[in-house]
Copies of this chain bind each other. A is one copy, B any other.
Amino acid sequence: MAKEKKQPRPRAEAPKGFRDYFGAEVTERAEMLDAIARVYRAHGFEALETSAIETVEALGKFLPDVDRPNEGVFAWQEDDDGKWLALRYDMTAPLARVAAQYRNDLPSPYRRYTMGPVWRNEKPGPGRFRQFYQCDADTVGAPSVAADAEICAMLADALEAVGIDRGDYVVRVNNRKVLNGVMEVAGVLDPSDPTKFEAERGTVLRAIDKFDKFGEAGVRALIGEGRMDESGDFTKGAGLSDTQADTVMGFMEAKRADNAATCARLRDLVVGSDLGAEGVAELEQIAQLLDAQGYGPDRIVIDPSVVRGLGYYTGPVFEAELTFEILDEKGRKRQFGSVAGGGRYDDLVKRFTGQAVPATGVSIGVDRLLAALRAKGRLGGTAQGPVVVTVMDRDRMGDYMAMAAQLRAAGIRAEVYLGNPKNFGNQLKYADKRQSPVAIIQGADEAERGVVQVKDLILGAKIAQDATVEEWKSQPAQFEVPIGEMVEKVQEILARYED
């Protein structure tokens, strides 16, 4: 008997860290991606879609906080040649590969946008998934900060295009060159040997990127001796002295009332560093270009506390933050935070070709942006199901299907009930679950007389809940109409519930 033991049934579960998206979750995201794509295209960006899979060597290792090889990505070996392949973890690494591979064919500068899922092999957490959407725009081959300014302006336009009101977001701009200038002044960057203090600078970068999370004291600890968290775990710091730490923290807190004052303060902080001075000049130029197009500091502002975690940025960096408050899962008010970010990365294409290619771009975290709009009540409103043509007589399916086709021909979503028609109550329960506004009913008697019953399910539900007997009688929710007037009657009912 034991020999005949069956294989156990597979578990009906998405792998941990992955989820399914239903109905409006899918269509609302598609609409958001469309709206963003329209803004990108209007700015002259062209679509690119690379495959989800790249060679591990082409992807490189640019994830923040990841040191071990292949960590952070889903990777596997090819059967035949043993090459390692992996799922992309962002859209920038594949773009660098494309820019190198097609460098003789693409226009230069090359503006491209792309949208799709990326995958991170990380520990999943609440609201933290291992597959999520990114929607990127990048310009490859444009050295001027005009390209960075364009990306920032376009980001502001994209946010407004998807329904974030002006005033509800801010694009904050900083420059890695200024930060490096500050590092030079603090003595942890030696322009004559950039490899010195590399580890320390990495620690400083990651520390100040966590300002929101750990606060000033936490960041000070991380750039100094180190930080003990609540559980007693100790993270080794960058080892900067108090004076050095003061310089770095001064940079973080250099934001002033307007862009000109912020730039002036930054200029003071980088005195003695050529790189730092160059960075400040770039920020001034970005502010001026944006100003010329009417993007004031209510939309885009210079803010030295933005650093972005990724190691590959070499110049301007930017981040879009939603400024309104939402309630978190524990009912506490908090700022929604970052929904997009990017910056200039002049060395990524060089990995392939040996030649430096200037590039800058932005990535919008579409799933976070959708969550923000839902938290604001701007999405997920009134999803309406299709009209359901019920089945009174299973031998007349052809007629019912023809009725549904007639409704569709008039632009109305419609379907025939395809479950077991025996219990009519189940058909109405189904229509209810489908959020159908209208049901069509035609039994043998109605068919003979050439009429159908058109049932207003929304009104019907309302009456069932609230109405007195008198109201019930005076407000019929079901109408008998000649078959030739079915479409018109349904349109009339649907018009009541529009917007």
Interface residues of A in 43-64 (CB under 8 A from B): 43-44, 46-55, 57-58, 60
Any B CB within 8 A of the CB of A314: no
Any B CB within 8 A of the CB of A398: yes
Interface bits A380-404 vs B (CB < 8 Å: 1, else 0): 0000011010000010011101101
Interface bits A81-104 vs B (CB < 8 Å: 1, else 0): 001010100000000011011100
Any B CB within 8 A of the CB of A146: yes
- In angstroms, how far is the closest chain B Cβ from the Cβ of A133? 10
Give the copy number.
Answer: 2
Contacts of A27 in B (CB 8 A): 47
Q: Point out the residue from B19, B25, B107 that lies within 8 Å of A430, measured CB to CB.
A: B107
With A49-B26, A352-B12 known to touch, is A109 a contact of B418 (CB < 8 Å)?
yes
Q: How many residues of A contact B (CB 8 A)?
A: 99
Any B CB within 8 A of the CB of A147: yes
Q: Point out the residue from B57, B74, B97, B291 that lies within 8 Å of A76, measured CB to CB.
A: B74
- In angstroms, how far is the closest chain B Cβ from the Cβ of A206? 23
Q: Is the CB of A14 within 8 A of B150?
A: no
Interface bits A273-294 vs B (CB < 8 Å: 1, else 0): 0000000000000001101111
Contacts of A102 in B (CB 8 A): 20
- In angstroms, how far is the closest chain B Cβ from the Cβ of A165? 19
With A14-B51, A51-B19, A418-B150 known to touch, is A401 a contact of B58 (CB < 8 Å)?
no
| Shortest Cβ distance from A141 into B: residue | B419
Q: Is the CB of B74 within 8 A of A53?
A: yes
| Alpha-carbon separation in the docked complex, A43 to B119 (Å) | 33
Contacts of A50 in B (CB 8 A): 14, 20-21
Contacts of A98 in B (CB 8 A): 12, 20
Interface residues of A in 115-165 (CB under 8 A from B): 117, 119, 121, 130-131, 139, 141-144, 146-147, 149-150, 153
- A-side residues, CB < 8 A to B, are 9-15, 18-27, 30, 41-44, 46-55, 57-58, 60, 74-76, 78-79, 83, 85, 87, 97-98, 100-102, 107-109, 111, 117, 119, 121, 130-131, 139, 141-144, 146-147, 149-150, 153, 288-289, 291-294, 351-354, 385-386, 388, 394, 397-399, 401-402, 404-405, 408, 413-416, 418-420, 430, 433-434
A44-B414, A74-B76, A293-B405 are known contacts; what are 19 more A-B pairs with Cβ within 8 Å? A12-B100, A12-B353, A13-B97, A14-B51, A22-B47, A23-B48, A43-B404, A44-B386, A52-B119, A53-B130, A53-B131, A79-B121, A144-B394, A144-B418, A146-B397, A146-B418, A147-B418, A292-B402, A293-B401
9 A-B pairs, CB-CB below 8 angstroms? Answer: A11-B58, A12-B353, A13-B97, A21-B47, A51-B131, A109-B419, A292-B401, A292-B402, A293-B401
